[in-house]
Chains A and B, each alone.
Chain A
Amino acid sequence: MIDVQHVTKRYGNAMALNDISFSINKGEIVAFLGPNGAGKTTTMRILTGFMPPTLGTVRIAGFDCLETPWEVKKHIGYLPETPPLYLELTVTEYLTFVGRIKRLSEDQLTERMDTIITQTGLTDVRGRVIGHLSRGYRQRVGLAQALLHNPPVLILDEPTTGLDPNQIIEIRELIKSLSGSHTIILSTHLLAEATAICQRVIIIHRGQIVAVDTPEQLGAKLRESETLSLTVKQSDPDLLEALHHIPGVIRVSQGATPHTYLLDTQMGHDIREELTQLVVSRNVGLLELKTQPLTLEDAFKVLTQTKTPSGSSISMSGGPY
């Protein structure tokens, strides 16, 4: 459905995307995961035909983005990072306008309008001016706008940013319910979000594809090592050496303070009991012991440094996964 080949985008001298290739099948939900500035929005803008790539080709539903932008635009529903709303219009007026510029006939428009308003939960606010709606409702109007002409491909740029937890769950449910009939690409900088709704995750970092995998496999890879943070009261020059000798510890490093140690441990080895015994026996005063949550940055570190034995799909060049 979506086929991206060797796409590069430069802004002046700055390289925003460096030779990116991937393809997405019909009915899949795929997440673009990466920190801010990784190139997610740029990729999406290129996919929508809003912006041409410097090099490379993009085909959507078999149509080339540069040669037949018209057809591509008809096949795409796009929700930009900031929902493109005319604040002075009511929800119905706005959606009517969108339907017309998306070239729906008046009959199709009337029919789709009711469907979409129900589907996105806008029934109560359909007559209200968009400028008076809350952030959550605005996001839904944005989503309604993308869905209105029933496009086979949906491109959603950070669809849950700025919403409260309940709204996030609602929007995620809505997106999930669209899978199968629509091919969906969404971008996010939350690892949990990508794993919660997507069948496949494309991790993008500094304009390059770092990994493409299913959330399960990705999760397994990320859990191969776990980091414990240990804080003690008194310094003990031998402690570092002693920590090394606990079975299951891969690496010990100094944390933010001289009394904090970070221990990378093998997956499946719970060393906490032995660790506490060691610290207590040395009488250095155990203050804190906690597991470090896995952040996106850690995930990048893991994904770019380890090569799994299966070696399934990690590549730095961003070649075809």
Chain B
Amino acid sequence: MTPVHTIVAKELRSVFVSPVVYVIAAIFLAIVGLLAYSAAANASNQAIRLMQIQNTYAQLNLNDMLFRPLFRSMNLILMIILPLLTMRLFAEERKLRTFELLLTSPIGVNEIVSGKFMSVIIVYSGLLSLTGLIPVTLSAYATFDWRPIYLGYVALFLQGALLISIGLFASALTENQIIAAFLSFGCILGLWMLGAVGGIIGDTTVGYILSYLSFSEHYERLIRGLLNLKDILYYASGIAFMWFAAHQAVDAYRWK
């Protein structure tokens, strides 16, 4: 086992013995399921109404009516629940003084940070794959285009990874888990607002930069089924930057 594997295995063990992850998963899946159900019910109502008015069989676009709004809502839910998954990563180690064990062992800070990051990515991927039941179930009753859905999941994965890397950094800054959660929530909210402000400013350089910095426009493009290199690059560079920031924060802890 490499040190990174060791950290990942230990983190997963710690995550799954605590009830927090089950509560978070239950809430996430319940809300997503409910949203998907109401969107599907709404779509079928509209289909019936259209049939009554036009007296023809209308084929509604489920990608537009169901999946895209669902992916948008899922992003909002992730913005709230992912800080709860990441808050304990380093804050707990600092509180329980186990950080001293890690930092006096012959493993590198990069291995610690990578292991912690990957463990949450694994938990999140599990959570995400459970929501895959929604398109799979629906495909038995309706026809829709799968490509935007694949890309939607790519978007969800990248978006989640970005939010997790922000949480990773926030957790390395404090020994209080609540503060870590609020800190990452604040960062995420700020990043989201940048997009809104950028949209208001509009077609200027500043507006363009602000929109680029926010995840909103990149996420939106991906869930529309558009695969652009610059959006993938945005997420990759964002995650790398936050990983590096977390690394620095862990390193700085020793100099205090």
Decide if B98 touches A100 in the complex (CB within 8 Å): no
Decide if A51 touches B107 in the complex (CB within 8 Å): no
B14 at the interface (CB under 8 A from A): yes
Known A-B contacts A100-B3, A102-B106; A84 and B18 likewise in contact (beta carbons under 8 Å): no
A33 at the interface (CB under 8 A from B): no
Chain A residues, Cβ within 8 Å of B106 = 70, 73-74, 101-103
Decide if A87 touches B96 in the complex (CB within 8 Å): yes
Chain A residues, Cβ within 8 Å of B97 = 80-84
Which range holds the interface residue count of chain A? 20 to 34
A52 at the interface (CB under 8 A from B): yes
Decide if B96 touches A101 in the complex (CB within 8 Å): no
Known A-B contacts A74-B106, A88-B14, A88-B17; A50 and B100 likewise in contact (beta carbons under 8 Å): yes
Considering residues B3, B6, B13, B101, which has the most beta carbons from chain A within 10 angstroms of its beta carbon? B101
Chain B residue nearest in CB terms to A100: B6
Chain B residues, Cβ within 8 Å of A11 = 256
Bound complex: CA A11 to CA B255 (Å) = 9
B65 at the interface (CB under 8 A from A): no
Bound complex: CA A88 to CA B14 (Å) = 6
B104 at the interface (CB under 8 A from A): yes
Partner of B104, one of A76, A93, A97: A76
Chain B residues, Cβ within 8 Å of A100 = 1, 3, 6
Of residues 17 through 74 on chain A, the ones whose CB sits less than 8 Å from some CB of chain B are 45, 48-52, 70, 73-74
Chain A residues, Cβ within 8 Å of B102 = 101
B105 at the interface (CB under 8 A from A): yes
Decide if A78 touches B100 in the complex (CB within 8 Å): yes
Decide if B100 touches A97 in the complex (CB within 8 Å): no
Known A-B contacts A73-B105, A100-B3; A84 and B98 likewise in contact (beta carbons under 8 Å): yes
Nearest Cβ distance between residue A279 and chain B, in whole angstroms? 54
Known A-B contacts A51-B255, A52-B255, A82-B97; A88 and B104 likewise in contact (beta carbons under 8 Å): no
B230 at the interface (CB under 8 A from A): no
Known A-B contacts A93-B13, A97-B10, A100-B6; A52 and B254 likewise in contact (beta carbons under 8 Å): yes
Chain B residues, Cβ within 8 Å of A87 = 96
Decide if A101 touches B17 in the complex (CB within 8 Å): no
Of residues 2 through 27 on chain B, the ones whose CB sits less than 8 Å from some CB of chain A are 3, 6-7, 9-10, 13-14, 17-18
Chain B residues, Cβ within 8 Å of A48 = 100, 104
Nearest Cβ distance between residue B234 and chain A, in whole angstroms? 34
Decide if B13 touches A101 in the complex (CB within 8 Å): no
Which range holds the interface residue count of chain B? 20 to 34
A-B contact count (CB 8 A): 73
B29 at the interface (CB under 8 A from A): no
B249 at the interface (CB under 8 A from A): no
B213 at the interface (CB under 8 A from A): no
A85 at the interface (CB under 8 A from B): yes
Chain B residues, Cβ within 8 Å of A102 = 105-106
Nearest Cβ distance between residue B105 and chain A, in whole angstroms? 4
Bound complex: CA A102 to CA B102 (Å) = 9
Decide if B255 touches A98 in the complex (CB within 8 Å): no
Decide if A84 touches B101 in the complex (CB within 8 Å): yes
Partner of B13, one of A45, A49, A89: A89
Decide if B98 touches A97 in the complex (CB within 8 Å): no
Nearest Cβ distance between residue A266 and chain B, in whole angstroms? 47
Nearest Cβ distance between residue B94 and chain A, in whole angstroms? 11
Known A-B contacts A80-B100, A82-B97, A102-B105; A97 and B254 likewise in contact (beta carbons under 8 Å): no
Chain B residue nearest in CB terms to A51: B254
Decide if A86 touches B96 in the complex (CB within 8 Å): yes
Chain A residues, Cβ within 8 Å of B3 = 100-101, 103
Chain A residues, Cβ within 8 Å of B127 = none
Chain A residue nearest in CB terms to B100: A80
Partner of A86, one of B10, B105, B107, B255: B10
A231 at the interface (CB under 8 A from B): no
Chain B residues, Cβ within 8 Å of A106 = 1
Bound complex: CA A78 to CA B103 (Å) = 11
Bound complex: CA A100 to CA B4 (Å) = 10
Bound complex: CA A74 to CA B107 (Å) = 10
Partner of B254, one of A50, A83, A84, A101: A50
Nearest Cβ distance between residue A149 and chain B, in whole angstroms? 9
Decide if B254 touches A145 in the complex (CB within 8 Å): no
Chain A interfacial positions (CB closer than 8 Å to B): 11, 45, 48-52, 70, 73-74, 76, 78, 80-89, 93, 97-98, 100-103, 106, 145
Q: What are some 24 contacts across the A-B interface (CB < 8 A)?
A: A11-B256, A48-B104, A50-B103, A50-B104, A50-B254, A51-B254, A51-B255, A70-B106, A73-B104, A73-B105, A78-B104, A80-B100, A81-B97, A84-B96, A88-B14, A89-B13, A97-B6, A97-B10, A98-B101, A100-B3, A101-B7, A101-B107, A102-B106, A103-B3
Contacts beyond the supplied A50-B254, A73-B106: 17 A-B pairs with Cβ under 8 Å: A11-B256, A48-B100, A52-B254, A74-B106, A84-B97, A84-B101, A86-B10, A89-B13, A89-B14, A97-B9, A97-B10, A101-B101, A101-B102, A101-B105, A101-B106, A101-B107, A103-B107
A-B CB proximity, top 3 nearest: A84-B101, A100-B6, A84-B98
